[in-house]
Amino acid sequence: MMTFRSWKAAVMVGLTLLLIIPLYQLRDYSTAGEYKQYIYDHISHYLNREGGVYNNTLYQQGAETTVHQQFNFSSPCENFPNTDGILLVMKTGATEAFDKLPTQLLTAMQCLPDFLLFSDLEQQIGKYHIYNVLDRVNDTIKSQQAEFKLYEAQQTCPVSQKDCTGSMKGAWDLDKYKFLNMVERAWDMRPNMEWYVFAEADTYVVWSNLVYWLRERAKPEEHPYVGSVALIKGFPFAHGGSGYVVSGAFMKKMIELIPNVAAKYDEKAPHECCGDLLISMALDEVGAKVKQAHPMFNGEKPNTLPYGPGHWCEPIFTMHHMNSEEVSAVWQYEQTRTKSERMQIKDLYHTFFAPHLVPYRKEWSNGADDTCYIAPDEAAQEDAGNHEKGRQKKEDEKNAVEKMAHQSPSACSLVCESAGLDINEQEFNALETHTERLSYIRGKYSEKDGDINFKKDRKCFQWKFQRNMCCTGKSFKLGAPKFEGETKNRHTSGWFVKGINDWVEARGECEQVAWRDPS
């Protein structure tokens, strides 16, 4: 049945056509294309409500210089790279699949002609099949290892997984069995690809950058296994959540040179922490050592990336811990960005951080922890965490500003404001209020106005204050809210806004994309 709205729309379309048809006859359209454009501009939105064009919500949130005002969704894959020979192998688990996959499938993955989804349960999500990659794990292991209780509960759940296993533990330990089983199964199902891209359901992949790099710059013979390197007991491996690539040639070697590679590593799994380490051990057996390509493969995301020196002109391939909303937002950015150059880390700053850069936020942690200033008394020292204590500046090495930093958020904020300035200890100590101190420091800062090197060499960008403790950071991160129960424990985080803006300006345009060769 037609609703009132659609009746209204139909009447409007009818009236519009009545108006346009005589207009078409009157106006001299030189080409059919021009007429089509006229129809598109003037009436297509009645036929197909928004016509796939919407106000861009990123633009509304302050990123006016980096994105277009409108989000045109009519051909999302138009600029997507050709991925022939490159296969995405995405790992998930039954406890998270339906939280994370739908947005992945609605965004970049709609443009991939093929991919494999592996999990610890056979499931279907719309037209996509999720394979259970643990079905061949030896029954002895399944009956002996506690994590397979979760696996069993998943297989026998008569309702939704959320209802059955929402409160069960074991997903993390189950995960490590997947890696080598995925290698075996991916090779069975899609053999002889040039590259296999391994990612997780909360990994964001910037396909334009990754595919360009795999085709034009990567060397599969020299560097067959590349990602963001982590170490466990001195053994290097590519961190799984950051995504990593393995050349087809070395996938083949693992399959052919290690008999029953999955079963062999299933037996090792109970004794090792994690599957990304296990796959590195298997690749090591066939002669492939992991190569580091950080920060291109990255474990952070727009609000946790440490922007600044080393994280600016570098291109980005992956991000991790991306929830559905974040995946969607970065995809929207990719779709609406005003620049056509390769996406660099600074672009994420300009879109997701700069519009929200303020002097401070209460009950917030920006993760500043490079140098800490803790009150020297015994109680405060005992109170501080080991991490912060390990990074604290000794009392006798602190300058006049730093000596006060642990007293309050505003005292803490002065550490970055005064960094690198010529502060006269006596003059500073004679000042009585924060306002006086701030204006003294700002006066000194303004003397550096024309000094581009001073601005470019900045090493203190942000701070975080919590009871008796001030920590500063040599990069700038947005961070996230952090709530502590008691008022006295609350975090306040801040950014030296002028120092950041001056650094960005002094740093200037990127002369070129700062590719990092795997090492």
For 353-372, give the DSSP string.
Answer: IGGG--SEEESEE----SEE
Q: How far is the CB of 343 from ligand NAG (least distance, A)?
A: 20
Helices (H), 302-451: 324-336, 345-348, 378-383, 386-390, 400-404, 409-418, 425-429, 434-446
Phi-psi map region of 363: left, alpha, beta (phi>0 left; psi -120 to 50 alpha): left
Nearer to ligand NAG, 140 or 338 (CB): 140
For 113-165, give the DSSP string.
Answer: S-EEEEESS-EEETTEEEEETTTTS-HHHHHH-TTHHHHHHHHT-SS-HHHHH
Instruction: Say if residues 242 and 298 touch (Cβ distance below 8 Å).
Output: yes
Nearer to ligand NAG, 139 or 397 (CB): 139
Instruction: Say if residues 400 and 429 touch (Cβ distance below 8 Å).
Output: yes
Instruction: Say if residues 434 and 458 touch (Cβ distance below 8 Å).
Output: no
- Picking from 272, 138, 305, the residue whose alpha carbon sits closest to that of residue 281 is 272
Integer Cα distance of 220 and 103 in angstroms: 31
Nearer to ligand NAG, 144 or 424 (CB): 144
Nearer to ligand NAG, 75 or 487 (CB): 75
Q: How far is the CB of 108 from ligand NAG (least distance, A)?
A: 18
Here the tokens at position 332 are 């929207």
Q: How far is the CB of 141 from ligand NAG (least distance, A)?
A: 7
Integer Cα distance of 101 and 107 in angstroms: 10
Nearer to ligand NAG, 138 or 424 (CB): 138
Q: How far is the CB of 41 from ligand NAG (least distance, A)?
A: 8
Q: How far is the CB of 336 from ligand NAG (least distance, A)?
A: 11
Q: How far is the CB of 150 from ligand NAG (least distance, A)?
A: 20
Integer Cα distance of 66 and 99 in angstroms: 29
Nearer to ligand NAG, 53 or 281 (CB): 53
Q: How far is the CB of 100 from ligand NAG (least distance, A)?
A: 29
Nearer to ligand NAG, 55 or 323 (CB): 55
Here the tokens at position 474 are 């040599």
Nearer to ligand NAG, 264 or 389 (CB): 264
Here the tokens at position 278 are 């296990």
Residue 275 burial class via C-beta count within 10 angstroms: exposed 0-12, middle 13-18, buried 19 and up? buried
Nearer to ligand NAG, 147 or 202 (CB): 147
Here the tokens at position 449 are 């106005």
- Picking from 263, 434, 454, the residue whose alpha carbon sits closest to that of residue 359 is 434
Instruction: Say if residues 279 and 193 touch (Cβ distance below 8 Å).
Output: no
Nearer to ligand NAG, 36 or 162 (CB): 36
Q: How far is the CB of 208 from ligand NAG (least distance, A)?
A: 17
Q: Which helix (H) or strand (E) holds 266?
A: helix 261-268
Nearer to ligand NAG, 266 or 276 (CB): 266
Q: Which residue is listed with tokens 């995809």?
A: 331
Q: How far is the CB of 300 from ligand NAG (least distance, A)?
A: 32
Q: How far is the CB of 75 from ligand NAG (least distance, A)?
A: 4
Q: How far is the CB of 53 from ligand NAG (least distance, A)?
A: 5
Name the site residues for ligand NAG (rule: CB under 6 A): 53, 55, 72, 74-75, 138, 140
Integer Cα distance of 21 and 186 in angstroms: 57
